[in-house]
Amino acid sequence: MGVLRSTQSLQAEVDELHAALLGGGGHGAAAGWRRSAGAKRAPGAGAGGAEARAVCVTGGISFVGFAVVDRLLRHGYTVRLALETQEDVDKLREMEMFGEDGRDGVWTVMASVMDPESLRRAFDGCAGVFHTSAFVDPGGISGYTKHMARLEAQAAERVMEACVRTESVRKCVFTSSLLACVWRQNYPHDRRFPTIIDENCWSDESFCRDNKLWFALGKTAAEKAAWRAARGRDLKLVTICPALVTGPGFRRRNSTASIAYLKGARAMLADGLLATANVETVAEAHVRAYEAMGDNTAGGRYICYDHVVQRPEEFDELERQLGLPGGAAAAAAQGAGDNDRPARFELCKQKLARLMSARRRCTYDTYYSVAFD
């Protein structure tokens, strides 16, 4: 689903992406994208059969989506970008990222995540889908609204339905969030040891709603909708739940989503739940999970983070990197987390660590064993 951006930020974002391409060297983004006069559209649905290494990425010009596309190209995949707005097309044309007729492995196609039929046409001929896009409303300090949360859940369901209805698609990697795991009213807690937060944990939608944690609500509801839509269908689904995504350019390219993520951050900090994930780690997790799904060595949910923020000074640095004026980031971190909580928690990413280090060691018998409670 297209990221809603202010027109004032468009040129700055283009400049940031263009600089990343030019500075990528022989192994980075620049190695995967060539210059040309403009973006080419994908061929029609009837042009050839499904290719095993052809995939479609929604939100491919978002902060996470762009990194996923770059990583896929490095792994030798042919990528189809599902774009939603003319603004996205104009940005790509201005960046001059593509080679003629998609010879560099990238095509573009217009599709709305609220329209399953347009999605089906975009997905047709692809073996897999990476749903990385997300709604972000630039209005307001939180960057995310209750309405956005509802739309995100609806779009997730429609993307899954389009995947199921597209004969060539067999696998989907869905970008969720760590926030879909951490927010609950009451956790059972042994005061001698921290409570472990892993892939079996789900955020409480009522708690998120009561405390106006709209970003967490949207991610939780969207991921649950995806699992419901995929359950029992001929589609393998994996969800990646990254922490606050950082990396070069995240202030400019991901600021509204970051501010939305940080609502309630002081509570997460106090409870050991505020973490960050470099965008390159997140992208690699997506591709590793996708490849491991082919032989049933990946399934279910994966928590993804690099670093747990433990000191207030680190949180202050996050605020500084986001470029927020004094007091603004603190306001964004208000809400559910103002009261001190005696319970302490510990994040666990062992499942993803096993996948990233030796993904063929263990096999998951089913893809649909995800429980919501």
Domain assignment present for residue 371? The answer is: no
Domain assignment present for residue 71? The answer is: yes
Residue 46 pLDDT > 50: no
Domain assignment present for residue 152? The answer is: yes
| 328-337 pLDDT per residue, tens | 445 444 444 4
Domain count, the chain: 1
Domain assignment present for residue 34? The answer is: no
Parallel, antiparallel or unpaired: strands 307-308 and 275-278: antiparallel
State the pLDDT at residue 359.
Answer: 46
- Annotation marks residue 224 as catalytic: no
Give CA–CA dist 30/265, Å, rounded: 35
**Entry pTM:** 0.79
Domain assignment present for residue 22? The answer is: no
Domain coverage including residue 306: 54-357
Residue 58 pLDDT > 70: yes
Give residue 319's pLDDT band: very low, low, confident or very high (50, 70, 90): confident
Domain assignment present for residue 32? The answer is: no
Q: Which of 40, 91, 171, 219 is catalytic?
A: 219
State the pLDDT at residue 220.
Answer: 97
What CATH number does the domain containing 282 carry?
3.40.50.720
DSSP β-bridge partners for residue 219: none
Domain assignment present for residue 5? The answer is: no
Domain assignment present for residue 26? The answer is: no
Residue 289 pLDDT > 70: yes
